[in-house]
Structure 1
Amino acid sequence: MPLLHRAIHARAGELAPALAAFALLLCLFGGYLMLRPVRETMGIAGGVENLQWLFSSTFVVMLLAIPAYGWLNARVPRKQFLDWVYLFFASNLLGFAWLLWRIPDPLWAARAFYVWLSVYNLFVVSLAWSLLADVFDRRQAKRLLPFIAAGASLGGLLGPLLGGLLVGRLGTAGLLVLAALLLLPTLPLRRYLMAWRGKGGAGRIGVETEPPERPVPGNPFAGISLVLGSPYLLGICAFVLLLSCTSTFLYFEQARLVAALFPDGQQQIRVFSLIDFVVQALSLLCQLFIAGRVAQRFGVGALLGVVPLLVALGFLLLALLPQFAVLAGVMVLRRVGEYAFVRPGREMLFVPLGAQEKYRAKNFIDTVVYRGGDAISAWLKALLDGIGLGAALVALGGAAVALAWSLLGWRLGSRHERTAPSATSQEVEP
């Protein structure tokens, strides 16, 4: 299929693993994005004014989960680690499905599910991207990851559509069972990708110093020490914190306005599903036709820096016109930009690094740092609302944060392009 090879920038032997990685993200994000509207509705059920408590609870649970993740990572071979984590979370989904089937509307269960799904999302997504950063070398990642990320957008496109269509028939519990079933195909896909890694991916380069048949060495808190000892990883932390801050400010405004305009719970699920559908459709188009060409021509810095700059302009527009239509447009812009450009670019930053950085430091950044940024931003937003600052001033602050986010993205991209670690210095085109 030479046309498809050219369309996704795949070279000889790369098409099948690229499609397998695409399918893995499709299943993963299809299940998660089907449940995201359910989570948003459950968050609103507890009161928009209490969302900062849910964000803080998520951060605390993340802190408790990281040592368990690190302990397991040091004992399970790297090539099998994803299977253990995904089967654990699939069993959790089935447990919540049983709980919501037996007790349909308890407020405490809604809050528990909101926190759990926020933790689930970051762990399963972070681990999937760790796997892909491990499977593909740096040159392959730059060519293929934008297309592979389109699998996440297609899954995100189908997930909200299925959720909106099936919630009336299956109920919330049925959607959770379906999401658990969608995790199962990722297991054989993972096995195929790790087998190909040694023949045509990152494992073929030179001598394998960190074989995937072994666990990732280090204590349960190794991710923290790795981050603190690396200016490069600290820069990625700052990038994630700024991303989280802008996301949280927009998220709170969206929740507040949807709660005011759409009081019915199932109507809220449909509204959130529609927003997710639009976001994923636009993301898919950008990933298939734009993101890969931008990465090839302008480098990782363009993927990381342009979207935050556009978000800063969106915040300025929101300061002038603080209306739901404008907010929805900025929210869609930010999420499309993150999924289509920022996320693939951010994952490319980890490709030249070793297994400990990919599986330990990266997970710490994607979970604790990200949710810590969420919690801090949530309380800051609540404080600003409490002292009566207008939406225009909050939007101007968001513009300043997004501008700093853009500048840091360009800098990290430039640093990545200059990096030539020994692990990748022997890279050759297949």
Structure 2
Amino acid sequence: MRPPVMTPPRPRLRTALAESPPLWWALLYFFCLLCGYYVLRPVRDAMGASSDAAAVFPSFLLDWATARGIALGDFTLQALFSGTFVVMLLLQPLYGALVSRFPRRVFLPVVYLVFIACLLGFRWAFDSDLQGRGALFFIWIAVFNLFAVSVFWSFMADVFDNEQAKRYYGYIGAGGTIGAFVGPLITTLLVDRIGVANLTLVSVGFLGVCLLCILRLRSWALRNEGSRAVQGEQAIGGSIWAGLKLIAADPLLRGLAMLMFFGVGVGTLLYNEQAAIVRRLYPTAEAATRYYSMIDWAIASLTILVQLLLTRWLLRRYGVAPLLLLPAIAILLGFSLLSASPLPLLVAMVQVVTRSSEFSLAKPARETLYTRVDRESRYKAKAVIDTAVYRGGDVTFVWVHKALATLGSQMVFVAGIGIALGMTFGAWRVIRAERGLPTQPTPDQSAERPAAR
């Protein structure tokens, strides 16, 4: 019998930093990236919850809706989610073309410079109360997440080889988690002092550091470009239709798509209910932004605790099953409580539990499963699930919520129980299909990357 292969122990952080100079820059990069993103996210959420239609929509769109007897302010989130869905579908081919034709070290600095210029423009728009700024900013954040956050781990694949990735990615991911914790805290502390407009300058500062990190990491990316860069570019290729065909043919991928769709559904119902509460209780942009930043901070705090105390132990001892089922059960319980008593504080608490369980349990489980499938499934199908299915769930359930809201919040959460059951069924389908997967990655698979939030 062949003796078991012993993997080298994970180095301590100090040792890892000493033996790998690019790790310093990668840690700083991911920290600043997520910190800058989470400084902005509460601003986006406040725009979605705004009761001032002129702040959210441009005048021509308001005039068009008024001419047809539509009060666009009554459909703010529905319009924003629909617009986001359309823009993301249109930009996905552009994203694929960029990452398949140019090395990340080439186009990433340009992308960040464009984003910095956009933020400076948004600073002027918020400061001057430009009409329609809310919709532009809401959709722009989704684009920022696609081009800046999602491609981070692909760039790391150019910087680190397979063995280095196994040793260092955990530390880099922890740096991002700390950034996701610090960003909302910065917003909470500063929004009343400097205003919403100047929060964009705070994020510009973090993106400037990210740009510096990219430039410092370019030499290591160039050194490792060879076979890893070509492999990385090929992995991201593929159309939406190719991914959909893979999903239709594979029970595991169908289960993952179902899990994503209904998981987004429960989150969207909560998000819309929370927006209604914010419109009622937090009328100013600063107050709404501070509220959302406190929610994001609570989510990040609970995520860190669960990651430290439960995630790794559960995954090693029991596999992916509890990581997929526990969030579904928690959401079922939360919606059951809300259907009986939809209090604002309880809505916030369930929102925190829902999103933190997604980040700390469900997402690591899904990413682990993707390390055990073939390359096409890992990239083409995963790209469709993470974009088209995700945004499709958003736009579907934001309109479902609009219909249910006419019956009252209680009925929204009663229907949410059914959607949570769909999520639970999707988790069960994934767990059942997972039994047929190989226990180890196939030889063509490289080290996987944690997903950006």
Please give the TM-score of this superposition, normalised by the length of structure 2: 0.77
Map 1:190-201 → 2, pairs under 5 A = 195=220
Aligned to 2:332: 312
Map 1:15-414 → 2, pairs under 5 A = 15-16=16-17, 23-45=28-50, 46=53, 47=73, 49-77=75-103, 82-83=108-109, 85-101=111-127, 104-129=128-153, 149-186=173-210, 188=213, 195=220, 211-213=228-230, 216-217=233-234, 222-230=239-247, 231=250, 232-352=252-372, 360-386=380-406, 388=407, 390-413=408-431
Structure 2: which amino acid aligns with 1:259?
A: R
SS at match of 1:229: helix
**Residues 304, 342 of structure 1: 8 Å contact kept:** yes
Structure-1 separation of matches of 2:38 and 2:362: 18
**Residues 157, 277 of structure 1: 8 Å contact kept:** yes
> Number of residue pairs matched?
408
SS at match of 1:216: helix
Q: Structure 1, unaligned stretches of length 5 or more?
A: 1-8
State the percentage of identical aligned residues: 33
**Residues 250, 327 of structure 1: 8 Å contact kept:** yes
SS at match of 1:211: helix
Structure 1: which amino acid aligns with 2:39?
A: M
Q: Comparing 170-179 with 293-302, which one deviates more in the overlay?
A: 170-179
SS at match of 1:40: helix
Greater relative CO (CA pairs within 8 A, separation 6+): 1
Per the alignment, do residues 425 and 415 of structure 1 end up closer, same or farther by CA in structure 2, a change over 3 Å counting? Answer: farther
Structure-2 separation of matches of 1:197 and 1:303: 38
Aligned to 1:6: none
Looking at CA atoms only, which structure, 1 or 2, has the larger radius of gyration? 2
Per the alignment, do residues 99 and 221 of structure 1 end up closer, same or farther by CA in structure 2, a change over 3 Å counting? Answer: farther
Structure-2 separation of matches of 1:222 and 1:175: 37
Structure-1 separation of matches of 2:446 and 2:398: 46
Structure-1 separation of matches of 2:24 and 2:243: 32
Structure-1 separation of matches of 2:436 and 2:215: 31
Structure-1 separation of matches of 2:170 and 2:324: 13
Structure 2: which amino acid aligns with 1:327?
A: V
Q: Deviations over 1:299-357 (max 9, x none)?
A: 22322221121111110011111111111111110011112112222222333456665
Structure-2 separation of matches of 1:412 and 1:99: 45
Structure-2 separation of matches of 1:348 and 1:42: 35
**Residues 105, 214 of structure 2: 8 Å contact kept:** no
Q: Structure 2, unaligned stretches of length 5 or more?
A: 1-8, 54-72, 448-453
Q: Comparing 405-414 with 125-134, which one deviates more in the overlay?
A: 125-134
Please give the TM-score of this superposition, normalised by the length of structure 1: 0.80
Deviation (angstroms), 1:275: 1.4
SS at match of 1:398: helix
Structure 2: which amino acid aligns with 1:393?
A: M
Deviation (angstroms), 1:211: 2.8
